[in-house]
A and B are shown apart, each in its own frame.
Chain A
Amino acid sequence: MSATARTARAAGPARRVREALRAAVWHLAALALLAVLLYPLAWLLGASVKPDDIVGSPELFPARPVADNYQRAMEGVAGVPTSVFFGNSLILALGSVVGTVASSALVAYAFARLRFPGRGLLFSLMISTLLLPFHVVIIPQYILFQRLELIDTYVPLLLGKFLATEAFFVFLMVQFMRGLPRELDQAARIDGCGYWGIFWHVILPLSRPALTTAAIFTFIWSWNDFFGPLIFLNSPENYPLPLALRMFVDQQSNSDYGTMIAMSVLALLPVVLFFLAFQRLIVQGVSSTGLKG
Chain B
Amino acid sequence: MAERPPAKASPDRPARRRARPARAGREGAAGYLFLSPWILGIVLLTLGPMLASLYLSFTDYNLFDQPEWVGLDNYAAMFADERWRGSVRVTLVYVLLSVPAKLALALAVAMLLARRRRGEGFYRSAFYAPSLLGASVSLALVWRALFMQDGAVDRTLSSVGIELGGWVGNPDYALLVLVVLAIWQFGAPMVIFLAGLKEVPQELYEAADVDGAGRWRKFWSVTVPMISPVIFFNLLLETVNAFQVFTASYVVSNATGGPADSTLFYTLYLYFQGFTDFRMGYASAMAWMLVAGVGLVTLLLFRLSRAWVYYAGEDGR
Contacts and interface: CB of A to CB of B under 8 A. Distances in A.
Nearest to B109: A33
Interface string A256-274: 0100110011011001100
Interface of B: 24, 26-32, 34-35, 37-38, 40-42, 44-46, 48-50, 52-53, 56, 63, 109, 112-113, 115-116, 118-119, 121, 123-139, 141-143, 145-146, 148, 150-153, 155-156, 184-185, 187-188, 191-192, 194-195, 233-234, 237, 240-241, 243-244, 246-247, 250-251, 254-255, 267, 270, 274-275, 280, 283-284, 286-288, 290-291, 294, 298
Contacts of A268: 133, 136, 138-139
Nearest to B32: A116
Contacts of A143: 52, 63, 280
Contacts of A139: 49, 53, 56, 274, 280, 283-284, 287
B44 A136 contact: no
B40 A30 contact: no
A40 B267 CA distance: 26
Chain A interface, DSSP helix/strand/loop, else mixed: helix
B32 to A, nearest CB: 6
14 contacts: A33-B112, A41-B133, A44-B139, A56-B151, A110-B31, A116-B28, A125-B42, A249-B251, A267-B136, A275-B129, A283-B128, A287-B192, A291-B188, A293-B133
Interface stretch (A8-16, A205-213, A224-232): A224-232
A245 B141 CA distance: 9
A122 B123 CA distance: 40
A141 interface: yes
Contact of B244 (A119, A125, A133): A133
A224 B44 CA distance: 25
A114 B133 contact: no
A122 B39 CA distance: 9
Chain B interface, DSSP helix/strand/loop, else mixed: helix
A56 B154 CA distance: 10
Interface residues of A, number: 93
A293 B187 contact: yes
Nearest to A109: B34
A117 B153 CA distance: 59
Interface string A279-293: 110110011101111
Contact of B233 (A37, A55, A226, A290): A290
A242 B142 CA distance: 13
A178 to B, nearest CB: 15
A80 B46 CA distance: 35
B133 A164 contact: no
Contacts of B233: 290
Contacts of A138: 49, 274, 287
Contacts of A250: 254-255
B34 A40 contact: no
Contact of A133 (B44, B188, B291): B291
A26 B115 contact: yes
Contact of B195 (A106, A116, A129, A288): A288
